Each structure stands twice: as C-alpha cells, then as structure tokens.
C-alpha cells in the first residue's frame, strides 16, 4: 500500500517511485512541489548543515521542467515511466544543459554538445534531472578539484566511497529520489554499501557507454543507485537498451535477447520482482570474501540465515587459491593498470566532443594541472589531484597496441571468465552471495583534510568482490543491498553476483532479501525539515 492509498499527507522522504506516482495521480503532490522539496533539503544538508557536499551542479531549469510535467498531467496525459521522478547523475555523464566536469576544475563550465543516450532516455520517460553529483577527478576515488569531497551521511567524519560518492550520498540522505552512477572497478557498489542504499552494476553493455567519460574500456558501465531494489529496477528499465552506435551494447543485447526476449519485447526488470524469488534457488556463499571486520561477518552470517529461511539452498563456495591470489587479490596491482592502456586515446576522443576552451590532449591536461595549481588558478578548495595526474602521466607511456594489453584482452581475461563460470558450474549455483566490503567507511583523508576517528577498525586485507566483475559483454552483474548496521551505526551491503545476463534473477534475489529484512535506515544527519 502506498502513502497516497493510506490518505495520509504525502511525505517525499523515503518515498519510492510508486509512492510518488500514486501521490501525483491522487493530487497529494505535484512535480513542482517535489523539486522544491529536494532543493530545500540540498540547501539544508548538502550546502549547509552537515555539509554533505553531494552536488557539483544543480539544474537551473528544474522547476520550469517540473511545471511542464504538471501541465502534461493536468491535460489528461498518462504518467510516463519516470514522470516527475527526480534523478541526479554522476558528473561523468553528459548533459547538454549542464556542465559535465568529470570531477575536474578544468571542465567547470564545459557543457557537452548533446545528452548521453541514457540521459535522453530519462528525459523521454519524464524524469527531472535535478543536478550532477560529485566524483573524484577523472572518476578516481572521491576528491574533486571542482567540488571537494562528499561526506558519509551516517557519519560525516567518514568517506562515502568512490567514485560515484555524490550519488550514494544524495540517495541516502534523501536529496534525490534515485541516481545514476558509473561503475568501473567498484564505483556504484561501494558508495551504495557504505551509505546504506541499493547499487546495481548490470551486465556490461546493457546501458550504452556513449556520452560517459571513459575510464576502462570494456569495464565501464552506468548503474542505478536507489533506496529500494524496485526503484533501481524501474530506473534500469528506462536507461537500458541497445545502442547501434555502441558496439558493446549491440553485442550484449544480442546475447541477452537469446534468453530474455519475450513476445518481441525485452522483459521488464521491475515487473519480474518477486518476494519468493530465492525459494529453492541454489546460491553459493563466497567464503573467500569473509574474514574482515568481525561485525561485518556477523551481519553477513545473519543475512545468510535469513536467506535460508526464505528457502534458498546455500552451499559453500571457494575459488581456486591460485586464481584468487593472482587475479582477485592482486587485481588492483596487475589487471587494473593494464586495462588503463587505451585510456589516452579514448579520453582524447571524448575531449574532442567538448567546447573549444577544453584542453584536448593528455599533455595539455597535465600542463594545466601542474601550472594552474602552482599558480593557484584553481578554486581555493582545490589541491593537487595526485590520482588524476598519475593516470594522465601513465597514459602517455602506453596504448592499446601494447603487447601486455593485447595479451590481457585476448587471452588472460577470457581465461578468467571461463574460470569464473566454472565456479558457478562446478557448484551448480545461480549466484554468489557475500559481504561487499571487509570494513566500514574509512575516515576522511584528502589533500586538505585528515580526520581522526579513534573507533575506526581497519580490517585485515580482504579483497572485496568488485575485482571479479568481468570484461565486455561477459561482465558479471552484481547487486548490493543493505544488510544491516554495525555497533557504531554504520551500514554495510550484501552483494549478489550472477553470471552475465542474469540481471533479472539477480535483482529478484536482492529484492526478496530486502523485503524480508528492511534494513534501509535514513541517516540522522539529514532529518525532516521543519517546513516539511
């Protein structure tokens, strides 16, 4: 039953897309009021108050767009899929009406020529793009030379995770209804886990990568961040679709269609959610990813017991030690640097689409970073973006023709995919489940600020499952859903990982767990405003 069905005053905080649409139909709210509600909360909690700092840019025409959608509804038109739903975007996703900074002060005022395909889909569905969320320079970590760093709303002394950090903060603190992040190594899933919301990395290629600043070719994908699995699925329904101009998208949908085309249309992610979806399903416990903070392990064990009560058939699963050590534990040191080899060519191709004032080469970016920073021509809050400078410098030495890169793409990654598939086959499991991170959110450490948190527990080195997502159309999807809170009030997420193109089933498992546990909790740092 929705809020409007109960005939209570509509409360936008924690409202789902279904709640919002019910309230719009009943007249309990309208699109303009929704936008004003979120803008008031952004002023109170992102720009002031706890200073959550989730946004780079706000859409100056958001109220005007909301009024147009209200007129559309008043004229008797039906609600579109995301009619009046407030969406924010990681600021690496192109919007033709707002700057897209990719976290960098060099792009502070640079507005792309056109919307990314996923943004065009959002607008067509009636969504209101309220603004762009903070990310680290060039999608690295969380520190941005254009906007600083967001703060975790459950403990503002701590990080919210990178690099879709602003998206996670905005959704968690009710500064937006839903957000679209972008995930290369962990960038949707870690902010979701650390801020207590839902994050979904789909099979790579389900969402077109055009119009998104590149990071790692064949790995990058946009993904929804939401407060519920149902909202993530509804958002996914809108932003997925084959893009003829994106070869990976075409390839992914070719294989996806074999199992998921129904009467000539792609099956909806949202309509297939079922609270009984784990009943009788064989799910593997990814035991290699336990052994971090004992509190997180206890939360995960409780989650496993709940899954068993829901009817899941749980079995212990371990990776081959050699595979795990070489290609999971040391992925950051080995696979990830190799995957950056094509970065220069792809980044410069992306920069070529931007306005004339944008530096168009890696060399020009390096020169600007080093000279502008030295001369203090960046904004006062900016300091040396060491991660971005390292990425830019490294990219000058390599290309996609590098023999090590060709070896990785042509031999190593296909072998890893076969080995990962073999784990599923050997144990006859439909998914793997595990805690997503081995420790709770870390204290804030930036070039400008270092916060001491005496009660912070640094867990032993346990690799999170982000590094086994997969490459290209063989990219393995993963859902992260809240699994509870530690003794200090910090959230953690439970991860469900599936085979490529198992997105429908995976969302179903996450939804069943979520509905049975209801661990989502709004952060105390962003309470209801008095005027609300």
**Could you list the active site residues?**
90, 163, 187
- Helices 362-374, 386-395: crossing angle, 10 deg rounding: 150
- The full DSSP string for 301-330 is HHHHHHHHHTT-EEEEE---HHHHIIIIIT
DSSP-based three-state secondary structure for 418: helix
Dist CA 273 CA 294 (whole Å)? 32
Pure H helices in 428-467: none
Dist CA 91 CA 104 (whole Å)? 10
Residues 6+ apart with CB under 8 A from 9: 28
Per 3-state DSSP, the chain is made up of helix, strand and coil in percentages (nearest 5) of 40, 15, 50
Look at residues 463, 515, 509 and name the one whose alpha carbon lies nearest to residue 190: 463
Residues 6+ apart with CB under 8 A from 325: none
- Cα distances (angstroms) measured from residue 306 to each of 299, 310, 450: 11, 6, 39
Three-state SS sequence of 117-180? HHHHHHHHCCCEEEEEECCCHHHCCCCECCCECCCCCCCCCECCCCCCHHHHHHHHCCCCCEEE
Question: CA 365, 120, 340 angle in degrees (round to 5)?
Answer: 35
Bond prior to 163 in cis (omega within 30° of 0): yes
Q: How many Cα neighbours within 13 Å face the side chain of 254?
A: 10
Dist CA 130 CA 368 (whole Å)? 30
β 128-133/198-201 pair status = unpaired
């Amino acid at each position: 039953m929705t809020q409007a069905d109960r005939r209570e005053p509509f409360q936008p905080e924690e409202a789902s897309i279904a709640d919002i649409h019910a309230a719009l139909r009943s007249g309990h709210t309208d699109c303009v009021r929704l936008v004003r509600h979120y803008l008031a909360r952004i002023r109170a909690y992102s720009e002031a108050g706890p200073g959550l700092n989730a946004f780079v840019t706000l859409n100056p025409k958001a109220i005007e767009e909301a009024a147009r959608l209200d007129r559309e509804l008043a004229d008797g038109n039906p609600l579109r899929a995301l009619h009046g739903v407030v969406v924010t975007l990681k600021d690496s996703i192109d919007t033709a009406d707002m700057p897209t900074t990719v976290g960098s002060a060099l792009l502070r005022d640079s507005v792309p020529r056109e919307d990314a395909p996923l943004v065009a889909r959002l607008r067509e569905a009636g969504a209101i793009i309220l603004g762009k969320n903070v990310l680290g320079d060039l999608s690295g970590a969380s520190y941005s030379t254009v906007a600083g760093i967001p703060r975790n709303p459950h403990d503002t002394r701590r990080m919210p995770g990178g690099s879709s950090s602003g998206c996670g903060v905005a959704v968690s603190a009710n500064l937006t209804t839903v957000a679209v992040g972008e995930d290369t190594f962990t960038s949707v899933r870690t902010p979701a886990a650390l801020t207590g919301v839902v994050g979904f990395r789909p099979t790579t290629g389900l969402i077109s990568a055009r119009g998104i600043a590149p990071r790692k070719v064949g790995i990058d994908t946009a993904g929804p961040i939401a407060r519920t699995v149902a909202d993530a699925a509804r958002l996914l329904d809108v932003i997925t679709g084959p893009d003829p101009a994106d070869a990976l998208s075409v390839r992914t949908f070719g294989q996806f269609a074999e199992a998921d085309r129904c009467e000539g249309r792609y099956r909806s992610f949202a309509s297939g959610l079922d609270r009984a979806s784990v009943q009788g399903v064989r799910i593997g416990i990814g035991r290699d990813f336990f052994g971090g903070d004992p509190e997180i392990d206890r939360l995960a064990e409780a989650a496993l017991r709940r899954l068993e009560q829901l009817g899941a058939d749980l079995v212990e699963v371990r990776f081959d030690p050699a595979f795990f050590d070489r290609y999971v534990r040391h992925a950051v040191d080995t696979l990830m640097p190799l995957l950056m080899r094509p970065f220069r060519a792809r980044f410069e191709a992306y920069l070529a689409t931007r306005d004339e004032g944008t530096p168009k080469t890696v060399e020009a970016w390096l020169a600007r970073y080093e000279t502008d920073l030295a001369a203090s021509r960046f904004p006062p809050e900016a300091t040396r973006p060491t991660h971005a400078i390292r990425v830019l410098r490294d990219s000058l030495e390599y290309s996609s023709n590098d023999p090590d890169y060709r070896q990785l793409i042509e031999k190593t990654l296909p072998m890893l995919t076969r080995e990962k598939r073999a784990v599923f086959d050997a144990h006859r499991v439909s998914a793997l489940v595990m805690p997503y991170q081995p420790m709770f959110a870390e204290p804030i450490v930036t070039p400008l600020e270092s916060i001491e948190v005496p009660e912070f527990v640094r867990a032993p080195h346990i690799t999170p499952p982000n590094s086994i997502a997969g490459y290209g159309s063989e990219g393995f999807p993963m859902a992260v859903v809240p699994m509870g809170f530690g003794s200090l009030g910090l959230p953690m997420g439970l991860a469900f990982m599936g085979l490529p193109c198992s997105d429908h089933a995976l969302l179903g498992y996450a939804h069943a767990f979520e509905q049975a546990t209801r661990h989502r909790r709004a952060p105390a740092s962003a309470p209801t405003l008095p005027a609300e």
